[in-house]
Structure formats: structure tokens, C-alpha cells
Amino acid sequence: MSSDSSHNVSYLDYKGRWKGKITSWIFSTDHKKIGVLYLFSMLILFSIGVLFGFLMRLELIAPGKTIMEPQMYNSIFTLHGIIMIFMFIIPGLPAIFGNFFLPLLIGAKDVAFPRLNLLSWWLFMFGSLLAILSVFLPGGPVDTGWTFYVPYSVRSTTNVFPALIAAFILGFSSILTGLNFITTIHRMRVQGMTWFRMPLFVWSLYATSWIQILATPIIGITLLLVVMERAFNIGIFDPSLGGDPVLFQHLFWIYSHPAVYVMIIPAMGIISEIIPVFARRTIFGYKFIAFSSIAIALMGSLVWAHHMFTVGMSPTAMIIFSVLTFLVAIPSAIKVFNWVATLYKGSIQLDPPMLYALGFIFLFSIGGFTGLIQGALSVNIHIHDTSFIVAHFHYVMFGGTGFGIFAALHYWFPKMFAKSYNMKTAKFSFWTLFFGFNVLYFPMFVMGWLGMPRRYYDYLPEYHIYHFISTIGSWIVVIALVAMFANFIVALRKKEKFTEENPWGGETLEWKTSTPPPLENFDIEPVVDSHPYEYKMNEPDQDLLKEEGTK
């Protein structure tokens, strides 16, 4: 049915109607190329975010002024938050690995709406550039914190306006990706790919996409209302005109709390892919893991006000939100127990993807448990707005989602680029990152508990030692990240091609096509007749051992 030219052509070589090197990428509607575009644009943005975080920590190494003025510091923590949250952590896994692997995992040729997919990358780039541009426009970089709380975001004379519009556009891009994925999962599964034969990463993308669709419009309208408030004084959030700033916080967190699950659920999906492959065992409790993603998506939409326990809500509302917050821990714990049960009696191989997956479980558990501490009403009053919360969400977002992204990158990199990276460097960067991460963020738990407020430019001398240790940790993290990225860059520049179809011995469909995948993903359309993780329990696979030996 198709001409020979499209068969066996690697997606990396195919140019289509665009002959130029760059145009064949940025105008391509191939989901794999779009995934790679997202990967590189997001890693650049991530590096900028890391740089801001690094400068912030450097400023805090000693009390008083170290390298920058307070106004600069306010802008830097705001930009760190906006970039990391809106441009890396929220869209990261769905946009990069969802785009690249969702069609492969369900045996499809592309997503349901390829042109819409390209549009969402363009919107993403436009929004990101606008946010970056707002740094250099007259007025100065935005200094409201990534949460844009009113009334300050209405009064601040910095470039809040472009930052708000940028966040709105990024939300639009996120919605389009979400509706594209839902439609793809409903309509494009290959023959035999029933709902319960879908890989767990696909389930997690499905849950995530629903949250993106249901929650993102709310932040869209909320940010637009702040724009209106700034431009026309409509009064909705302005107490002097009768408006209520707390309403802003409600509307903001109705989106932004579920968004936390947009960040973490796909990472959990990645971990569910990696653990069975490297433990050589069928995943334990497939349906429970699949449905717990949906359960997190549903319950996570009903807990937003736990960000607002100190604004003066009614005690009844606070108790309800606190109880619901505790309940979300159940589906998360179901996942963790199922992963650990999968590892039990498995023949575990500690390759880099697996190391990151195990690192995820460890760090996410710490982040999750400290989340429960904050969910308790009385304790929350004590640690509200301290660096305890900063440590908590970095353990969940960086230790969780960040490690999930790195796990996925190490797992799928050979398939995506047909290049192999150096295992030793990868393991070195993992252990350095894991160590540096804990040195960087664990002291924040301690000083937060002792009362160190978050976002402060200066602090009392008794917090000095913790800030000092934390800043040392930030240097170790930067070294680890540089080592990791250098490893990938060296791998990409290698001449020799890596063409092994299935280096890790995975059972899902992306390993059953050539490396790199051909233009339309599969030369022969696959037929699925079993579950995604059918490993012979506890029996070493002879073919696989041979493969390992030759590696």
C-alpha cells in the first residue's frame, strides 16, 4: 500500500517536503521528531532553570548580601519557578516521551492529530520565548513568585503581563497535547491492544491527559482575570473594589494542585515500565497500578485547598480537605508497594534506567511522607511557608518527576537516537546526583522545621549551617547534571550507529521495531496477543543472556 521510500527509512533521515536541515525538524508532523524537538527545547529551559536555582543557592550561602540585590533575588526565584514548573516539569514527560512513545507503545503510526501536535510545540515555544523575553523588557523581570498571587501580582510594576500571557499560552499547548493523547488512545490502538494490554505508561498518560483537559482551562481564565484586573481594574480580585484575593487562590489551586499530578503520574508510568524490564518479572498488580493513576487523577482534583490552610477558611472545609489529602496517599502507596512487590525475587540488573527508577522510589517516598505531615492541619500551621515545603516539593518534583524524566531518558535514549551512551559515566552521574540531591534538599527540611521561611533573601545566623550545606549540595547536583548531559552529547556525536532492537530486553512494542524507528514506526503492523510484561518468572531468558554477553 505504500511506496518503498517510506519503508525502512529511519525517522531521523526522512525529510519529507522540507529539504533543509532545520525546517525538516521544526515543520515535521512526525510525533517522534516533535518529541525530540520538545526534548531539546525543554533541556535548554531546564538548564536555565538550574542556573537560576544555582544562583539563588549561592546568594543564600551566607547571611546578608552575597552576590545580588533583594529585587534580583525575587525575580530569580520567580523565574526558576515559572521555568521549572510551566516549561519543564508539567509538560516534560507527556510532551517529550508521551509524544515519542505513546504511538509506538500502542502500535500506531502517529498520534490522532499530527498537525495539532506540531501546533502545540509551536505554542510551547512561543510561550517560553515570551516568558524569557519578559526578563529583558523594560520594567524588569517578574517578581511575584510563580504562583502570581494577588494583590501583589496586580500591583507589581515588573513585567507580570507578558509572564501571565506566556503561562496562558503554555496552558493552551498543554490542553492540545492532552486532547490529542486521549483521542489517540481511544482510536489508534493496534489490533489486539485491549485496554488492559496497554503498557502502564499509556495508562498514566491517559489519566494525565484528562487532568490537563479538565484543570488547565481554570488556570487559563484565572490568569486572564489577573490580566483584566491589571489592565481595566475590574475589581474581581481587588479588595478595595469588593473583590476577594482568596478567590484567586482557590481558582489558582483548583488547577495547580491537579497539575502536581500531571507532573508525577507520567513519571510513575515510566517507573512501571522500567521496573519489570530490569527485574525480569511481570509487573505485580497491573490493574491496581492502572486504576490508581485514575484514582489519583480523580482524588487529586478535590484537595486543592490544602495549600490554603492559613487563609482563614471554615474549620469544616479545612478538615474535609485535610482528610481528602490523606486519602490521595493511598493510590500513591499502592503503586509503591506494587513496584516493590515486582522487585521481590526478581533478577535485578542495576543499569542506569533502573538506578534512576529505584532512586525515584526512595526520594518520592520521602517526598510523599512529608506531604502527609503537611496535610495534617495543626502541623501545617507550624511549617506553612517554610523551607520544609520547599524541600517537600523538590523531593516530589525533582526527586520524583525529575528522576523519572532522567530514567526515561536513559531507558529510551538508544531507541530514540540509535546511539549508545557510556554506562560508567551514567552510573557515576546517577550516584553523584543522588548524593548531591540529598545534601541540597534534606537540610531544608531541618531548617524549615526550625522556622526558616521560604523565599526569604536573608536569614538569622542560626540557620547559616543548613544553608551552607544546602549550597554545597547544589554544586554537587550541577556537577552530576553536567556529567549526565555531557555523556549524552558525546553519545550523540558518536559516529557508530547503535542498531540493536532491544538492548534492555523489554517486552513492549517499542522494542519490536528497528532502532531508530522507521518513519511510520513499524514496517509490519504488529498484532498484540498478550499482556505487556510477560516475562518468564524467575527463569533467566537464555537468548537474553546471550545478548547481554555481547553488549
Q: Which positions lie near other proteins, rule CB under 8 A?
A: 1-3, 5-6, 14, 16-17, 28-30, 109-110, 112-116, 175, 178-180, 182-183, 186-188, 213-214, 216-218, 220-222, 224-225, 228, 232-236, 241-244, 247, 251, 519-520
Shortest Å, Cβ 188 to other proteins: 8
CB atoms within 10 A of CB 67: 12
Shortest Å, Cβ 507 to other proteins: 27
Nearer to other proteins, 20 or 235 (CB): 235
Shortest Å, Cβ 463 to other proteins: 39
Nearest to 350 by CA among 272, 412, 278: 278
Shortest Å, Cβ 240 to other proteins: 9
Shortest Å, Cβ 1 to other proteins: 6
Residues 6+ apart with CB under 8 A from 17: none
Rounded Cα distance between 132 and 129, Å, is: 5
Q: How far is CA 162 from CA 51, 128, 168, 295, 440, in A?
A: 22, 11, 10, 36, 32
User: For cell 511575584, what's the residue?
Assistant: 144
Nearer to other proteins, 78 or 177 (CB): 177
Nearer to other proteins, 14 or 149 (CB): 14
> Can you say how many angstroms the Cα of residue 103 is from the centroid of all Cα atoms in its chain?
19
Shortest Å, Cβ 350 to other proteins: 39
Instruction: Tell me the three state secondary structure of residue 8.
Output: coil
Shortest Å, Cβ 285 to other proteins: 30
Nearer to other proteins, 258 or 473 (CB): 258
First to last CA, the chain: 37
Residues 6+ apart with CB under 8 A from 284: 338, 339, 341, 342, 344
Rounded Cα distance between 429 and 421, Å, is: 12
Shortest Å, Cβ 14 to other proteins: 8
> Can you say how many angstroms the Cα of residue 507 is from the centroid of all Cα atoms in its chain?
25
Nearest to 33 by CA among 43, 42, 25: 25
Instruction: Tell me the three state secondary structure of residue 386.
Output: strand
Question: Can you give 103-168 as a three-state secondary structure string?
Answer: HHHCCCCCCCCHHHHHHHHHHHHHHHHHHHHHHHCCCCCCCCCCCCCCCHHHHCCCCHHHHHHHHH
Nearer to other proteins, 140 or 217 (CB): 217
Shortest Å, Cβ 176 to other proteins: 8
Nearer to other proteins, 175 or 270 (CB): 175
Nearer to other proteins, 402 or 526 (CB): 526
Nearer to other proteins, 34 or 48 (CB): 34
Shortest Å, Cβ 548 to other proteins: 35
Nearer to other proteins, 14 or 288 (CB): 14
Nearer to other proteins, 56 or 251 (CB): 251
The alpha-carbon radius of gyration of the chain (Å, integer) is 23
Instruction: Tell me the three state secondary structure of residue 518.
Output: strand
Phi and psi at 453, nearest 5°, equal -70, 150
How many residues comprise the chain? 551
Query: Is the distance from CB of 217 to CB of 178 less than 8 angstroms?
Result: no
Nearer to other proteins, 228 or 377 (CB): 228
Residues 6+ apart with CB under 8 A from 195: none
Shortest Å, Cβ 352 to other proteins: 33
Tell me the sheet residues that pair with 386. Answer: 453
Phi and psi at 277, nearest 5°, equal -65, -45
